[in-house]
Structures are given as C-alpha cells and as structure tokens.
Amino acid sequence: NRFKAAISVQDYQLHTIFCVPISVDADTFGFLYLDNMDDNSRAMYLKQEIITLFIEQISIAIKNAMLYENLLQKSTELNTFEMLKDEFMAIVSHELNTPLTTLQSYVSRLKRNLYVDEDERKEILNKIENSVKKLIVTTGDINTMNTYNLKKSLSMAPVDISEILELVQQEVEILSRKRKMFIRLEIEKDLPQVMVNWEALHLMIYNLVLNAIRFTNDFGTVVIGARKAAFQQEKLNGKDSLVIYVQDNGIGIPEYQLKNVFRKFYELNEIYAHKSGTVEYRSSGLGLGLSTSKRIAELHKGNIWIKSKENEGTTVFVTLPLKP
C-alpha cells in the first residue's frame, strides 16, 4: 500500500522498482535504479549474480578513478615542491654566496696589503661585519623555520598586544628611516589581553612589517593595527577574536600568487630579480617569513590571511583567540 500510495509511483505508473547503493569503502557514491512501467509484465525479473557483478565493476571503476586522481594530485604536489625546493636552493646559494664572496674579497685584500691606513681598515672591517651579520640572519631564518615547524605547542602567557606592536614600530622605524617611510599604529582602546607566546608573536609581527616595508615604495606608509573582530569571518569558531593587521600602500600581490604566499620557500620576486637586504625596496630573503608566520598563527590556534590588489597595496590579517 505504501508503494502504491507514493506520488512518483502514481505519476509515472510504476509497477516495480529496484534500487541498490553503489559503495566504495563504506561510502555511498550513487544508486543503481531500475523501474518497470510495462503493463504486460508488471513483475521485474533480475539475475542476482549479474546485478552483483555489475555493481562490483562500477565500484571498482570508481575506486580506481579516485586512486588515479589522488595519485595525480600527489604527483602535482611533488613536482611543485621540487620546483620550490630548487628555487629555494638557488636563493639560499645567492644569500650565502653574496656575503661569503664579500668576505673572501676583503680578506684577500688584507693579505695582499697588510699595512692599510686607518680609514681603509675601518671600511674593510665594516664590510666584513655586515657580511657576517647577513650570514647570521640567513642561517637564523632557516633555524627559526625548523624550530616552529617541529613544535607541537607553545608556552603561553597573558599579554597586552599593544606592547608588542609598539615595540615593533620602534624597531622598524629605525630600519626604515633611510627610506623616509611612515610607520603608523592603529590600536583600538581597551583591548583585552591575549594568551600568546611573546617571542613567537613578536617575531611574526616583525616579519610581516618587514615584508610590508620591502614591497612599499620610498615615502610609503605601513600601518600596524589591532582591534576586536568586526566581521563574522574574523571570528574563530564563531567566538570573538583579536585581529592584528599590517597594511601597506605598496606594489601589492598579483591575484594568481595569493594562494602560494604562505608556502615554504615561496618567494614573490623572480629568482633572477632576487635582491638581498633587510628593508631595501623589493629586497627579500629565503621566502620563509610568511610560512613561519602561518605556523606561529596555527600554534596560537589562530588564523592568517591576505587581502591584496596589485599596485594598490596589501593587508595581512592575523586572528587570535581572546583570553577566556
């Protein structure tokens, strides 16, 4: 009676229906559906062995297609990683060879002429010191990335976020002074404390601001800000969060590169255009800064994303859970 009362049965004048799920590893992907509208033979006669074999063949075909798609995806990811690794090695080679070549040059100069005047001696020692500092920074970036990638958690303590932002502003103002840039703070009043690892969060914000400076023209503006979440997408699991942002009016990031900027070794500059430096325009390092920042945000159970428009500027947002 239930079968005859069904609307679809009445509308299509169905006499018999056969329906069986098509499953792969306990997941249902579809159904084999047969119906009979023949008034002369209302019953449906099926051979169970044939139907079972047919269903099994469909399931095998689906599983093979899934395995092939997964294999293809892994192959693409592996090729992409290999390409990024090769680019990374080229950048590391550049970052290490430049200061090492400088060191070798000035050491050879001293060996050829042991008796140099005071001014020349100071110049040589300054160049050597700068080259050593560059090597320390490069190896430090690699060690930092490895440190945070290996960590499963961080020790946390309540922190007033304005203290970190103000410190970063002071640090980068000194570095960006020669480029006549304006570093501005925008901190919402009466922000609650957040549970963070002070060292890790300071490193993340410092790196984000350095990136903003590098890809902003001389006399440009970089804004370091913090506020409570104002939009639903800024909340974490539907709960209020603290939003930290670094905004610049620089060259921006092409849309096709946005999905890759947080990947290890990814560098916005082309290899052939790679320039070393701390805050020089369009200079860059190893392509580890944003990847490390993403990992630090994850260790804080937070989120990080970028909004950017080419030739207009970039804003990096970081959301952190508020202290319970």
Domain ranges, ordered by start, for the chain: 2-70, 71-147, 153-321
Predicted confidence (pLDDT) at residue 27 exceeds the cutoff of 90:
no
Residues 6+ apart with CB under 8 A from 81: none
**Topology of domain 153-321, CATH:** Heat Shock Protein 90 (3.30.565)
Calculate mean pLDDT across residues 175-203. Answer: 91
Name the band, by pLDDT with cuts 50, 70 and 90, for residue 271.
very low
pLDDT value at residue 323: 67
Name the band, by pLDDT with cuts 50, 70 and 90, for residue 274.
very low
Spatial contact of 34 and 18, defined as CB atoms under 8 Å apart: yes
Please, is 99 exposed, middle or buried when counting C-beta atoms within 10 Å of its C-beta (0-12, 13-18, 19+)?
Answer: buried
CATH number of 71-147: 1.10.287.130
Predicted confidence (pLDDT) at residue 88 exceeds the cutoff of 70:
no
pLDDT value at residue 84: 65
pLDDT value at residue 228: 92
For residues 243 and 38, the model is more confident at 243
Name the band, by pLDDT with cuts 50, 70 and 90, for residue 95.
low
- Round to whole Å and give the CA distance between 1 and 3: 5
Predicted confidence (pLDDT) at residue 277 exceeds the cutoff of 60:
no
Q: What 8-state DSSP symbol labels residue 232?
A: G
pLDDT value at residue 40: 72
pLDDT (tens digit per residue) in 282-319: 555 545 678 889 999 999 999 999 999 988 999 999 99
pTM over 0.85: no
pLDDT value at residue 324: 61
- Round to whole Å and give the CA distance between 256 and 254: 6
Spatial contact of 310 and 255, defined as CB atoms under 8 Å apart: yes
pLDDT (tens digit per residue) in 121-169: 788 888 888 778 777 776 777 777 777 777 888 999 999 999 999 999 9
Q: Which of 197, 151, 205 is nearest to 300 (CA)?
A: 197
